[in-house]
Structures are given as C-alpha cells and as structure tokens.
Amino acid sequence: MADVPLLRCFVDGQWLKTPERFANINPVNGQLVNQVCAADTSVVQRAVEAANRASQDTWKTLNVNERAALLHRIADGIERRFDDFVQAEVMDTGRPMHQARSLDVARGIANFRTFADLIKTASSEMFEGIAPDGGRTLNYVTRKPLGIVGIISPWNLPLLLLTWKIAPALAMGNCVVAKPSEETPSSATLLAEVIQGAGLPRGVFNLIHGFGPGAAGEFLSTHPDIAAITFTGESRTGSAIMKAAAEGVKEVSFELGGKNAAVVFADADFEAAISGIMRSSFTNAGQVCLCSERVYVERPLFDRFVDRLKTRCEELVLSYPDDPDVDMGPLISQQHRDKVLSYYQLAREEGARIVTGGGIPIFGDERDQGAYVQPTILTGLPDSARCMREEIFGPVCHVAPFDTEAEVIARVNDSDYGLAACIWTTELSRAHRVAGQIETGMVWVNTWFTRDLRTPFGGGKLSGIGREGGRYSLDFYSDISTICIKI
C-alpha cells in the first residue's frame, strides 16, 4: 500500500492527512487508484472556521477585476496541467479519454473564464421612484457575498460540475467548502492544487473528502455557519440535504435527477434523430442527468426507427478509455452496475421486450472485473411501469409509439421529474408549439447537450430547485440588497 497515492483534504491552505481512509477504485478493471483521506467532524469544523476567517478578511473586499484575474489564473492552471486532469477524470470514471479532453476538462476551464468575464460586465438594476412627499428617489440593487458556501458535487461529470459551482461562488466573493463525490476525488484534489497555486488567500477554498449520510456531506450541510448549499445528484439525497438545510434556513440550489423524454416526429430528419438519440441515451454510459430514457416516436416511423437504433446501438464500441475507437466506458462502480442490472431485470418482469442488450459484456480480460454493462433498448412497457417512471441512470432507453401531438405532450409531462426534453422535427411551428407545452427546465430541438453557459439551467418537480448559469448563478451566490436614496 506504500506506493499507492494518498489524496488529502485541503483546509486553510494546508494539506491534511486523516486517520480514516477509503479506497478509490477504477471502474474499468476494479483496481485500486488511490487511497483517500476522509474528513470527520473536526476536519469539517476546521474547514468552516478557515472559510469564516477568510470571509471576514480581505477576500470579499477584492474588487471585481481582482477576483476575475484570480479566476483566470485558475483557468490558466488547469490548462497547464490539462493532461493531468484528463488522466484524473479517466482513472476515476473510466470515461473515454477523448470525451474527458473535449468536454470535461475543456468545460472546467470555460467555467472559470465564463464567470470571470461575466462579473466584469454584470449590471445592476436601477429605478427612479417617487417618495411619499413627492420627491424623487433612486433605487438600485447590489450583490454582496453570502459568506460560506457548501458545495456537494456528483461523480458523473466530476470536474465539469464542481467547477460549475466553485467558479461563480468565488466570483461573487464567497468562501467555499467543497465535497466531491467519494467515487471521484482525483480531479477535485488536482483542482485544489491549482487553486492553491493561483494565489487565493488561505481559507477561501477548502476541499474535504468523504461520504454523505453520517459523514462529511452531512456534517457540511448541517453546519450552522454555512450560508448556502448547492448540490447536484440524486433526488433522494437532495431531499435529505434540504431537510438538513431547513434547520438554519439556508439558501439551497439543487440540480437533481431526471427521467427525460425525447420526441421524434415523423417529419424529423431520420438519421439526425437517430444520431441524436444515440448521443442523448448512451453518452457517458447514460450517466448524465440530461440523458433520454423515454423515447417517443410517431407511429409511422416507429418500426423503422427501432430497427435502425438497434443497429447503431450494437455498433457501439465498449473498450478502454484510451482506445481511439471507444464509444462507451463502464459505469462508475460495481454497486451502480448492480442497480442498473436490477432495472434490466425489472423491465423483463414488467413485460418489456429487450430489443438489444440487457446484460454484461464479456471481454476475456481485466475489464471483466470492471463495471461495464451492455447498452440496452427496451420497448413494450406502459407509461405506468416503474422502469418508465424511475431514473435508471444507465445506458438504456425505452422506445414507444405515439399517434398525436396532444397525446405525446401529455405523456412526456406525466412524470415526477422535470429536467429536460428533446424534440426532433423539421416543422418550425410545431417545434415552438410543443416546446412551450413541455414541463421541463430545458428543451432541445434537433440537438442535445448544447447550451450557452450564460443561460439558466435547472429543473422542476423532483429535478431540483433554482437555476444555475449566467446571472442566475450570480444571483444565487449573492446576498441581494436594495438601496433607496431620496434625492
């Protein structure tokens, strides 16, 4: 064990070893990647105290240009260690290396640059009014730091989603205590090294490792000195964090699960729709909250669509992350694979037809010790089936026919989730009409996973609370005040 890397917590500008450790396992082959120091209550307390001291010191008094310059230095630091970040993401998640390069690490850099530039151009509202005595008033809105923000981020897009929260929190002058998923600690630790090198004052950014209930995540979300909690992950976990945050009436921002639908109309560009559904259902082995698990295809197109999707699905290459031909890697862990496989079995019990997949691929090498599953297409289930209502979070989609526009809108909206949806059609008026009636926070038309970082992102129902992105992030990470001056 002596030659196994040890990931430490980063608190008050120092790297801490803790007596409790846990193993970080590579999902490609089941081998040990590193050992990780778990934060107990005393470490969380030290992190919060350090953040509290920093929030009372010079950090929040830095002007916008100074904070923006620091964010750009962090982005520069990620760029300098680009390959190290790619390797960290790949080791923890098993995702294709080309995806880590083009999406995860590139987006981490973009997140810091986007919010660095945004805070230099963000404007405040101002209104002229009339006082009771008839005099004039000037009313304007200011944003002040909240104080200490607790950030709990998931394992599916580790660096992307962690930086998506850290960047705006720091941009608005807050101090941060961040806890990445216990499944993916490597890129977060590397990010702490970069942030340390960028010259942020001690205590402004703190990183703690550990688990959720009864551990670091719960200690952080229940701490009375945390002003706000932002969390991306499973809906049930979000509910538990919300209960904990309610005690101190903390600000909360949750981006939670989804049971997202895609709608393919008969007039759609057929091959574009096929390629789009392949991306939206199987990217990152379906481990993206935005993936399409429910696909509705207009009946005249249904049989042809299922046949073509089956062919494309069976052409997917499941392989090592560094294989240039790889399309799909493993799931995050054996435990998560067991969950996904249990849904494959449940689908059979509920009467689904397995068009393709539904099991575990056999490689005949070390990958058989990993967490791979077959990409799977289902048909034949009613909308009331559990597999149609519960988030599976794996490489699976169910394809069902529909007959009318009104019918499919009702079926899409008949969900406990409300995160995202896709529409495939060449009829512009239909695209606008249907998109406006779908009850989700995001609707794509003839595309998927494309979004300007300045636009709001989030969902309703069990899919979350609040919006992130652009000025919506700035609003969440700020204490907004109105100042009224009589002229």
Q: Which residues are catalytic?
A: 255, 289
Please name every residue paired with 177 in a beta bridge, in sequence order, or none if there are none.
Answer: 150, 206
Q: What SS3 state is found at 292? A: strand
Ranges of H-type helices in 358-437: 386-389, 405-413, 428-435
- What is the rounded distance in angstroms from the CA atom of residue 131 to the CA atom of residue 120? 32
**Tell me, what amino acid is at 128?**
E
Q: Which residues contact 345 (CB under 8 A, 6 or more apart)?
A: none
DSSP 21: E
Q: Residue 37 burial by CB count (10 A; 0-12/13-18/19+): exposed, middle or buried?
A: buried
Q: Left (φ > 0), alpha (ψ -120 to 50) or beta: where does 16 sit?
A: beta
> What is the distance between the alpha carbons of residues 146 and 173, in angstroms, rounded to a whole number?
8
Determine contact, residues 263/423, Cβ cutoff 8 Å: yes
User: Which residue, among 392, 397, 349, has the nearest Cα to 377 in the 3D structure?
Assistant: 397
Task: Return d(Cα 368, Cα 318) in angstroms, integer.
Answer: 12
Q: Which positions ≥6 away from 358 have C-beta within 8 Å?
A: 344, 347, 348, 374, 376
Q: What are phi and psi of 263, to 5 degrees?
A: -120, 125
What does DSSP say about strands 464-465 and 126-130: parallel, antiparallel, or unpaired?
unpaired
- The beta-carbon contacts of 106-109 under 8 Å, at least 24 apart in sequence, are 107/159, 107/160, 107/163, 107/164, 108/78, 108/159, 108/160, 108/162, 108/163, 108/187, 108/191, 109/75, 109/78, 109/79
Q: Identify the H or E element spanning 442.
A: strand 442-445
Residues in the chain: 487
Here the tokens at position 486 are: 């009589």
In angstroms, rounded to a whole number, what is the distance separating the alpha carbons of residues 168 and 181?
Answer: 20
d(CA 320, CA 329): 7
Strands (E), 357-415: 376-379, 396-402
Tokens of 23: 């193993």
Residue 126, helix vs strand vs coil: strand
Q: Where are the alpha helices (DSSP H) in 105-185?
A: 106-121, 158-171
| Longest CA pairwise span in the chain (Å) | 85
Q: DSSP per residue over 203-237, as a string?
A: TSEEE----STTSHHHHHHT-TT--EEEEES-HHH
